[in-house]
Structure 1
Amino acid sequence: MSNLSRYGLALAALALTLTACKDEGEKKSPSQVLARVGDAEITVHQLNYLLAQQPNSADTAVKQKVLDGLVDQELLIQKATELKLDRDPDIVQALEAARRQILARAAAEREIGKPAEPSQAQVDAFYQAHPQLFAERKLYDFSMLSIASTALKPELEHALQQSKTPADTMELLERDGIAYQHTEVQKAPEQLPIPLLPKFGAMKAGDIIAVADGDKVLLLQLKGSNPAALQGAEAQAAIKQYLLANQADVLTDNKLKALRTTAKIEYVQRFAAAEQAGKGTDESVKSGLKGLK
């Protein structure tokens, strides 16, 4: 399950705070109150919740910074209430979406539990299986041209094999009347499709690899690359993080499949055919090791 965005968390906090403002019957112990903003009180419980997510949470400077942030947040929440933003349909929907996401994540964590720590043998095997991500890791500088997937016909593919520079490639596209968007990008291997990593590793300047991107195709023409090996403790930590995240995804998928078999689900309207079993996992692998960014 994906992590909540900062925006989603902020909205959830806004929802909870607005609710708290309306609960006039709740009495707080004076010892719990850290600050007052108008009639609203900021408590030690609010501070401790945020400190639990911070490094060096015992540092008094960190505590003060977090408390200042809560004060600023309360000022904005009061302004939102004054502007009646809590009644805005878009914001109401966003609050509900954040609430649902928090509850769904909490249920998943409660039902699935914590994934098992990967063994050293698993970490070593992953390291050996993906040299382009570690010992042979490079940073690639690309000229990236985005075109419609329908434009990549065999004759264009053949012509692109003769291109040696981005200027050559753009000239080919313009000659055939193919619209494109051009950007210069630097990509790390963990941002590229895993099955193509050996091909990227073997690329020479001027070579092109086409990567599907929805209804577009990205033509990645190599301008140059620089060694950027990831080894030792840094590599170990990244691999463990990825394996844990991948295991959590698998456990979540299995739990959801089990829940779907026992629940009554009726799609009143479908927008696409049901995904084939296992497709989600395959697609997540093909998209690259996002946990290693």
Structure 2
Amino acid sequence: MPNRSEPQVITAGLLRDWALPVPTGGKETRGTVLVVGGSRVTPGAVLLAGVAALRAGAGVLQLAAAESTAAALSIQVPEALVVGLPETADGAVAGRRSPRLDELAADADVIAVGPGLHDIDETRVLLHQVLDAAGKHTSLVLDAYALGALSHEPALLAEAGRPAVLTPNLTEARHLLGRDPGDDLAAEAAELADRYRAVVSLYGHVADPDGRRWREESGDAGLGTSGSGDVRAGLLAGLLSRGAAPAQAACWAAFAHAVSGQRLIPRFGRIGFLARELLDEIPQTLATI
């Protein structure tokens, strides 16, 4: 296990000294993000993640979700290419191979898997398909049920050497750890980073498998709202698409997610804002860092 540093507090000053890449040229220079997720009853998770990726600066957005939701998503997110995936009888995305998904995964710069998925067995098959099709240097963001699938097969990342960020909540961290997380979430994030050989962002605690650690202290109770995690996953994907390294993207995303929430408090109170209202705050938050 690598030597663990003392966590650094993520501040605007720290991020200014760790500036994001500034792409030049057309949208291709800001990369392509593919979001894979959604089910018949949770298409909004893909919408939130996808729009967050665009708000963070991604150049091209592609969404792959349950077939029954594709038409609605294409109308709600006209900026994206939307592909319908096979689904099960109860509306979950099915693990059946999709040649179109293979094509999109092969060409994407960043793939976010998990928002809105809800069948663990189908998700395991789907995750295999995405990883088989993606290039070895394609960056990954794994969230929600994709983390549950990963917990059954840690070698999918640990032995692959892929650039990846995991964004667990406490329930997902329990699956990844194989036990209940303790009170020291910084230590738990570091253990997960070492075990899965990926950057981990756990409730404001960011850990890199090389031993570096950070913590974000601006987050407030309002971020604990439905869909907020989908926004954070998409924000991360957008920053990776711009060329940020995984740990850098995770730190910037943790700060921007928290500060975007803070910006909404004067209008909606500490716990009154919605996840979708975070989206419009992201560009200004990033610009003012």
TM-score by structure 1 length?
0.19
Q: Which has the higher helix share?
A: 1
| Larger Rg over CA atoms | 1
Q: Which has the higher contact order (CA 8 A, sep 6+)?
A: 2
